[in-house]
Amino acid sequence: MMSLKALLRLASLLIGTLLMGSAYAQDEGHDHGEIAHDHAEEAPATVADAHTIAHAEQGGGKFNAGKLIMDHIGDEHGWHLWGHTTLPLPVILFDTQRGLQVFSSSRFEHGHATYEGYALNESEVVAVNAAGNVDEAATANIWDISITKNVLSLFISLAILLVIFISVAKAYTRRAGQAPTGMQNLLEPIILFVRDDVAKSAIGEHKYQKYMPYLLTAFFFIFLNNLMGLVPFFPGGANLTGNIAVTLVLALITFVIVTINGNKNYWGHILAMPGVPKWVLLILTPVEILGMFLKPFVLMIRLFANITAGHIIALSFFSLIFVFGETSAGAGYGVSVMSLAFTVFMTMLELLVAFIQAYVFTFLSAMYIGAALEEHHEHKESII
């Protein structure tokens, strides 16, 4: 089972890397072409121009799977709903020169227009001058704190979590001592699972309670967002837990909790491992200090890579339809059957991965907290 999963992961990463590689290669070629074009005609291409060229190429029947996939797993200003319908989102810029700027992302008209000296370039807000060229110096002054697709997705999942858990908490007080009903029934086993199999087994019976709020929050936040990422239409599909900034913050919280709560024994093991010859410490202490930072770093990478890989493989299967469809309509329809079957299979697997990754993140966080709290040689005694 595990080896099959590992194989599929590898395959998905390989496909993703290949597609990304081809995307970058094409982008590079495109850029070079642009520069040559500029020199020949003395007419600098604007952001809007570049976008029009890209559109013309798409219109000309050139399907760029790499770009499609990167656009879908990335963040954007405005949430694409269907066809040509996009939900505009607020663009909030803090410009060190011009102060706070707030306007709707619909002003950019999907990257075709510039608004008050700002434009979209590869779904990033850049400053442009009067001629419509990207102004690098002015762009460096922009702090983009917009409500983007991922931020809105974060707000939606926070609202869902709050509604669910406040209602469940109320039900526990209202129905104290009675059997759980409805949503309580669904969540109680999962909460107990986090308590017994994660917190108690990794931190220990005596100290786990203090860390339960964080572990439960992390688990349900990651689990819900993993699931939302699998929903292909509006409130879902934002790849939030596949965004490295989100996983960075989650891993940072774990790192801070571990570092603040680390006891004498924990720091002793890092700075000078007891029972080890002095000359080995020369290597072991730097390695342990590195390990202190690398553990949360791996937490960040693992969640990001697993969820992003899941999104990439689903999109790759769908892209295959259009890649084959370009050669002939029949091939497109033929491949779509296989594509759909594989996507359904992968989505089933992703449902499992959504849970496993939430569990692994929470469990490893709990284990690092447990290691920081461990008293001298406590781990050697067996508890029966």
Partner 1 sequence: MSAAKRQDEGDLGQVRRNYNSYLRYTGLGFTMIGIILAFTFGGWWLDKELAWKFPLFTIALSLLGIIGSMVYLFKETGRP
Residue closer to partner 1, measured from CB, 190 or 273: 273
Kindly list the residues in this chain that would bind partner 1 in the complex (CB under 8 A): 197, 201-202, 273, 280, 283-284, 286-288, 290-291, 294-295, 297-299, 301-302, 360, 363-364, 367, 379-380, 383-384
Nearest to 316 by CA among 13, 82, 74, 5: 13
Cα 117 to chain centroid, rounded: 30
Q: Minimum distance from CB of 199 to partner 1 (Å)?
A: 12
Q: Minimum distance from CB of 17 to partner 1 (Å)?
A: 17
Q: Minimum distance from CB of 269 to partner 1 (Å)?
A: 9
Q: How far apart are CA 231 and CA 347, in angstroms?
A: 10
Q: How far apart are CA 356 and CA 307, in angstroms?
A: 11
Residue closer to partner 1, measured from CB, 176 or 383: 383
Residue closer to partner 1, measured from CB, 140 or 383: 383
Residue closer to partner 1, measured from CB, 142 or 284: 284
- Say if CB 202 and CB 219 are below 8 A apart: no
DSSP 109-122: TTTT--BTTEEEET
Using DSSP's 3-state secondary structure scheme, residue 91 falls into: strand
Q: How far apart are CA 105 and CA 111, in angstroms?
A: 9
Q: Minimum distance from CB of 16 to partner 1 (Å)?
A: 18
Beta partners for 142? 95
Q: Minimum distance from CB of 377 to partner 1 (Å)?
A: 9
Residue closer to partner 1, measured from CB, 15 or 299: 299
Tokens (6 digits) for 218:
């992390």
Query: Which residues touch 343 (CB under 8 Å, ≥6 apart)?
Result: 314, 317, 318
* Helices 65-73 & 278-327 angle (0-180, nearest 10): 130
- Say if CB 69 and CB 60 are below 8 A apart: no
Residue closer to partner 1, measured from CB, 289 or 348: 289
Residue closer to partner 1, measured from CB, 118 or 361: 361
Q: Minimum distance from CB of 179 to partner 1 (Å)?
A: 23
Q: Minimum distance from CB of 195 to partner 1 (Å)?
A: 13
Residue closer to partner 1, measured from CB, 34 or 288: 288
Residue closer to partner 1, measured from CB, 16 or 296: 296
Q: How far apart are CA 69 and CA 210, in angstroms?
A: 42
List of long-range contacts for 243-251, beta carbons under 8 Å, 24+ apart: 243/75, 243/150, 243/304, 244/300, 244/304, 246/150, 246/154, 247/299, 247/300, 247/301, 247/303, 247/304, 248/300, 250/218, 250/221, 250/222, 250/299, 250/300, 250/303, 250/361, 251/296, 251/297, 251/299, 251/300
Cα 349 to chain centroid, rounded: 18
Q: Minimum distance from CB of 258 to partner 1 (Å)?
A: 14
Q: Minimum distance from CB of 297 to partner 1 (Å)?
A: 7
- The terminus-to-terminus CA distance of the chain in angstroms comes to 31
Q: How far apart are CA 347 and CA 227, in angstroms?
A: 10
Nearest to 308 by CA among 30, 90, 70: 70
Residue closer to partner 1, measured from CB, 68 or 366: 366
Q: Minimum distance from CB of 169 to partner 1 (Å)?
A: 28
